Amino acid sequence: MTAMAEPRIFVVDDEAETRELIGDYLVMHGFDVRLLEDGARMREQMTLERPDLIVLDLNMPGEDGLSIVRSLKAVTDVPVIMLTATASLVDRVVGLELGADDYLAKPCELRELLARIRSVMRRAGNKPAARADEPGQPRREIRFGTKWLDLDAQSLRSDDGDEQPLVHSEFSLLKAFAENPRRVLSRERLLDLASARDSEPFDRAVDVRITRIRKKIEPDPARPTVIRTVRGAGYMFSPD
């Protein structure tokens, strides 16, 4: 996306009225919007252009939103905001486990959806002005267990250079830990540091993200030693 380009949003929802309502509102606020009725149309459109964010309904006939999130996150790091009519805790937890960046219950307040979109996009686009590969610019890398976190590239890689998929909410949490080593951070403090606060108290959101991160960085995710649980207090990053 160039500096002058309008951010491009895909709105994927099988309900035409909902698609158009969200689309009209986002266009009014300066977004370039594509209205798509299902996952197949979304994938077709992605062969033509890359979105900056996807607003995705979870409860669609045929291929549901959770299946779309799973396949999408396997090949791209485009941020996803889930919309769920049931407001089901299970849907939210599974969606976050699959890599979604945020969620909102339907029918959603359009002003809140706009705020969520802007918040997720800020996190997704929060890259420093100086590139790490420019001459004279040292790379800022932090060791997290079996991986290296590159703060400038916002990526996670192994010692042999293979990059590990990392969604923006996971990077934000890892960055918060990197900036606060050997300090116990409560779930609420982590949400504040990662700018990832949900619309309601939802400790499970942090727990789900930490579980995903541990699978990527811990030598033994079942016995975490890099990001440790401090019972009754929160989590702590213990560097080697």
Of the candidates 84, 213, 163, the one whose C-alpha atom is nearest the C-alpha of residue 226 is 213
Higher per-residue pLDDT: 85 or 28: 28
CB atoms within 10 A of CB 186: 15
Residues 15 and 118 in one domain: yes
Count of the separate structural domains present in the chain: 2
Give the integer Cα–Cα distance in Å for 157 and 144.
Answer: 10
Residues 18 and 53 in one domain: yes
Chain-centre distance for alpha carbon 86: 21
Q: At 52, list the tokens.
A: 């900056």
Q: At 13, list the tokens.
A: 């929802």
SS3 225: coil
Residue 132 lies in a domain: no
- The residue written with tokens 């010692």 in the block is 159
pLDDT number for residue 216: 94
pLDDT in tens, 72-96: 887 788 899 988 876 567 766 777 7
- Assess whether pLDDT exceeds 70 at residue 103: yes
pLDDT number for residue 225: 94
Confidence of residue 2 (pLDDT cuts 50, 70, 90): very low
Residues 93 and 152 in one domain: no
Mean pLDDT of 171-193: 87
Per the prediction, the chain carries an average pLDDT of 82
pLDDT number for residue 224: 95
Helix axes 110-124, 16-28, angle to 10 degrees: 60
- Assess whether pLDDT exceeds 60 at residue 153: yes
Give the integer Cα–Cα distance in Å for 102 and 197.
Answer: 9
Mean pLDDT of 50-54: 92
- Assess whether pLDDT exceeds 80 at residue 105: yes
Higher per-residue pLDDT: 88 or 40: 40
Share of the chain above pLDDT 90, in %: 30
Residues 80 and 178 in one domain: no
Residue spans of alpha helices (H) in the chain: 16-28, 39-46, 65-73, 89-98, 110-124, 168-178, 187-193, 203-217
- The residue written with tokens 């703060």 in the block is 151
Of the candidates 112, 79, 99, 69, the one whose C-alpha atom is nearest the C-alpha of residue 200 is 112
Higher per-residue pLDDT: 212 or 106: 212
80: domain range?
8-124
Give the integer Cα–Cα distance in Å for 23 and 183.
Answer: 43
Tell me the CATH number at 53. 3.40.50.2300
Supply the pTM of this predicted model: 0.55
pLDDT number for residue 218: 95
pLDDT number for residue 151: 82
pLDDT number for residue 128: 36
pLDDT number for residue 127: 40
pLDDT number for residue 23: 92
Mean pLDDT of 98-126: 83
Q: What are the residues whose beta carbons fall under 8 Å from the beta carbon of 162, sequence distance 6 or more?
A: none
For residue 3, with 0-12 CB atoms within 10 Å meaning exposed, 13-18 middle and 19 or more buried, which class applies?
exposed
pLDDT number for residue 32: 92
Confidence of residue 9 (pLDDT cuts 50, 70, 90): very high
Residues 25 and 99 in one domain: yes
pLDDT number for residue 87: 56
Last residue of a domain, one of 89, 124, 159: 124
Alpha-carbon distance values, 201 to 12, 148, 195, 236 (Å): 27, 31, 14, 21
Tell me the CATH number at 228. 1.10.10.10
